[in-house]
Structure 1
């Protein structure tokens, strides 16, 4: 009896995550269901697909082969979806957009509202995520990302430079050599901002570490410490002032990216043109050229 496509997906998920619970969560099923299905697959095939260890599940050669087949099948399905989408000439259908939370709240949401007014036949699925989703697998159609190194397998356009500077409360002695800092954690931008703060303040002068830009901004506003913020955000807050000029060490580029097979799809092309047009007048603020 042929093995169903869903079973290939299950084996691949377990292989990639090394455990039943996260694999089941990624597929929207219960771990107990995943356990029963895996046992049934192995019984049907007459071979073990995973070795069970205390540290997790390790694929056997048969499991690795099945996971690799699942990856090839998934890519073919995604390729078919992209080809079908490319044939549509009128902007319509589902458009999956991903962006990090600060870009969504500060930039993207108003643009999405105006896009929907202009293209009412396009339904938007917005995925707010700090992680770079896999556009090749159609986890998203378009990504708005602040990055210095966009993936080489994607295409798109650089919209602006995002400048960062050090900010502190308008009131208070924040300029001294003994100022207390708040710092992004090592999990943010590969530790770039944490290293920036560490080069200027010893551990005893870091009052708080956070893993979100929103939290960092709130901490600075509350007077917990000084710290780096994107200029387009820090400059808009009346209670904050710049304590430095835009620092090239922290600058990143704002990119709008998609998969090469999707760039000519009507809804994707319309969205990318719309966002590029909307970002253009915001470039001075994004690039830190409108300090108050």
Structure 2
């Protein structure tokens, strides 16, 4: 086994020793019962000794287990002290910060705030990756994710900054040409089947028949541009469309939405200096635009 796996197995061992049962240790570690059993068995096999006796009252350390327990506690204390020292060193506000988000946030929401962030923290370089699918913060493919989701995975920590309202819009000539026509009578541009799991897709299916959708695309940012070009009505984020004078709202915001803007990081990174600086700054910056993001900002 490599050093990382060795320490991971020791963490499982310490948890069982503290909790006295596999199920309690599993709950604490956020894994299932069989994972804990497998990791303890791997550690016992690697060391060639039995570490626990399974008794009616729970898992009890053997003599060898007690020996390892003392060593493991010392290892844990040493690692905790090192972590504190290193986190203090990383409190310097500089370095590269990797942020992943979706196209509409990267193109239409973040830039003005990144410019202000740069003025305050000139030592931090921000690398933004546009990806509809979440990059893994656990594998350190990114440090921070800004996502449009209902609820984030349990492995990440952060906060919901705002809702994100969507409403039907059209380019001004298209809106004037349709006059008082109902939404169902207009031609539409929409998102493709990759969005079928979203409230956008549910709203479209409940409002517009498939034959009225004349254009589909797998990007909301591209959809905005298609609507601006006059391809048809489109369900767009109010935070973008309300700032575009060549677009007009042609209906009320959709009500069936659980979309929120989440600012997320991995729990092991949340106190890193540059990560903390970005989280705190963007929480204030994006929180200050809540009326616009939730569709109460009105047309630009």
What is the TM-score with the length of structure 2 in the denominator? Answer: 0.66
CA pair 244-251 structure 1, distance change in 2 beyond 3 A: farther
User: Is the counterpart of residue 86 in structure 1 residue 87 in structure 2?
Assistant: yes
Aligned ranges 1:198-237 → 2 under 5 Å: 198-237=205-244
1:107 aligns with 2:109: yes
Q: Which residue of 2 aligns with 1:250?
A: 257
Distance 2:171 2:86 in 1: 49
Matched, 1:180 2:182: no
Q: Which runs of no fewer than 5 residues in structure 1 stay unpaired?
A: 4-78
Is residue 2:136 matched to residue 1:129? no
Given that 1:185 and 1:191 are in contact with CA atoms closer than 8 Å, whether structure 2 keeps it comes out as no
What TM-score results when the alignment is normalised by the length of structure 1?
0.68
Kept in 1: contact 2:97–2:127 (CA 8 A): yes
Contact 1:86–1:262 under 8 Å retained in 2: no
Cα distance, 1:133 vs structure 2: 0.8
Q: CA deviation at 1:191?
A: 4.8
Is 1:120 the counterpart of 2:127 in the alignment?
A: no
Quick one: distance in 2 between partners of 1:197 and 1:277?
33
Aligned residue pairs, count: 216
Q: Secondary structure at the match of 1:288?
A: coil
Q: Does 1:190 align with 2:192?
A: no
Match of 1:144 in 2: 146
Shift in alpha-carbon separation, 1:253–1:85, aligned structure 2, 3 A = farther
Deviation string, structure 1 residues 122-165 (Cα, Å, up to 9, x no partner): 22222121111110110111111111121111001111111111
Q: Which 4+ runs in 1 deviate beyond 6 A? A: none
Quote the residue 2:277 is aligned against.
270
CA RMSD of the aligned region, Å? 2.5
1:192 deviation in Å? Answer: 3.7
| Cα distance in structure 2, aligned partners of 1:235 and 1:114 | 22
Task: Flag the 1:209–1:152 CA change in 2: closer, same or farther, 3 A.
Answer: same
C-alpha distance in structure 2 between counterparts of 1:250 and 1:149, whole Å: 12
Match of 2:288 among 276, 281, 285: 281
d(CA) in 2 for partners of 1:163 and 1:272? 22
**Equivalent residue for 1:98, pick from 100, 113, 121:** 100
Residue 251 of structure 1, CA deviation = 4.8
Task: Work out the CA distance in 2 between the residues paired with 1:230 and 1:91.
Answer: 34
Contact 2:203 2:254 (8 Å CA) reproduced: no
Structure 2 partner of 1:73: none
Question: Aligned to 2:255, what secondary structure does the other structure show?
Answer: coil
Distance in 2 between residues matched to 1:85 and 1:247, nearest whole Å = 48
> Which residue of structure 1 aligns with residue 8 of structure 2?
none
Distance apart, 1:207 and its partner CA = 0.6
SS state at 2:135 partner: coil
- Is 2:100–2:128's contact at 8 Å kept on the other side of the alignment? yes
- Specify whether residues 189 and 273 from structure 1 end up closer, same or farther in structure 2 by C-alpha distance, changes over 3 A only: farther
1:261 is paired with a residue of what secondary structure?
A: coil
SS of the residue 1:130 aligns to: coil
Say if 2:268 is the partner of 1:261. Answer: yes
Contact 2:137 2:265 in 1 (8 A): yes
Give, in angstroms, the shift of residue 168 of structure 1. Answer: 1.6
Which structure has the larger Rg over C-alpha atoms? 2
Residues 114 and 232 from structure 1, CA distance in 2 versus in 1: closer, same or farther, beyond 3 angstroms?
same
